[in-house]
């Protein structure tokens, strides 16, 4: 499965430090139940939750940076929703050919639009976790991936490579924004897993 994941990473625009994060983002519960050889022992749902939360925040930020201002809260909500609705997520999933990568049980023959949308969110969540696992990680990488996949042009942002280059020093165009985003992501993850453990 090494070569296909190389191709998927190229389409996403991100090279995973720990490829098991990507495999988990692609693993359905049915694959775990059937002990699929490519499945990770945890499914994609937690990553999809993280990806959904981060996606909305970064889309808002990208749109604000592009337009500098918004109208009413209703207009802001509609703009963000147009990017993050399931039909748009499933379209991106088809563009990434995720149906060829989603790890599922034998009883699941067809990949649905919902499965594609969930996989896109889970991949974004996997990037968040993968970046946090690295000492030199940068959340700007995720912003670039989202901007490219969702066709949001970034205003006054220099062109930078989308792949994670391991030993290279991460770029940082705004340390304040970087610090704030990392604290937000950490808080979301801590709250989610606290709820999971208490239930």
| Marked catalytic residue, from 7, 18, 34, 52 | 52
Task: Judge whether 52 counts as a catalytic residue.
Answer: yes
In the annotation, is 121 catalytic?
A: yes
Say whether 11 sits in a helix, a strand or coil: helix
Phi, psi of 104 (to 5 degrees): -135, 165
Contacts 24+ apart (CB under 8 A), 99-102: 100/4, 101/4, 101/5, 101/8, 101/26, 102/26, 102/28
Determine which one of 121, 130, 139, 144 is catalytic: 121
- Two tokens at 166? 């391991």
Q: In a 3-state reduction of DSSP, which class is residue 54?
A: helix
**Closest Cα to residue 42, out of 26, 18, 54, 53?**
26
Compute φ and ψ for 187, nearest 5 degrees.
-65, -40
Residue in 129, 134, 118 with CA at minimum distance from that of residue 43: 118
Annotated catalytic residues are: 52, 121
């Amino acid at each position: 499965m090494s070569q296909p994941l190389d191709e998927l990473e190229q389409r996403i625009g991100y090279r995973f430090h720990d490829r098991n994060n990507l495999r988990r983002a692609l693993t359905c519960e049915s694959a775990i139940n059937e002990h699929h050889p490519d499945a990770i022992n945890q499914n994609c749902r937690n990553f999809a939750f993280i990806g959904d939360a981060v996606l909305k925040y970064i889309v808002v930020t990208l749109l604000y940076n592009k337009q500098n201002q918004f109208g009413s809260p209703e207009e802001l909500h509609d703009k963000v929703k147009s990017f993050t609705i399931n039909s748009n997520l499933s379209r991106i999933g088809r563009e990434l050919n995720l149906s060829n990568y989603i790890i599922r049980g034998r009883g699941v023959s067809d990949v649905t639009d919902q499965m594609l949308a969930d996989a896109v969110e889970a991949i974004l969540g996997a990037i968040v976790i993968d970046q946090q696992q690295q000492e030199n990680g940068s959340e700007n990488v995720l912003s670039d991936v989202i901007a490219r996949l969702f066709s949001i042009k970034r205003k006054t942002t220099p062109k930078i490579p989308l792949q994670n280059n391991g030993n290279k020093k991460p770029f940082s165009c705004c340390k304040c924004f970087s610090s704030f985003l990392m604290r937000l992501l950490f808080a979301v993850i801590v709250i989610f897993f606290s709820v999971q453990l208490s239930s």
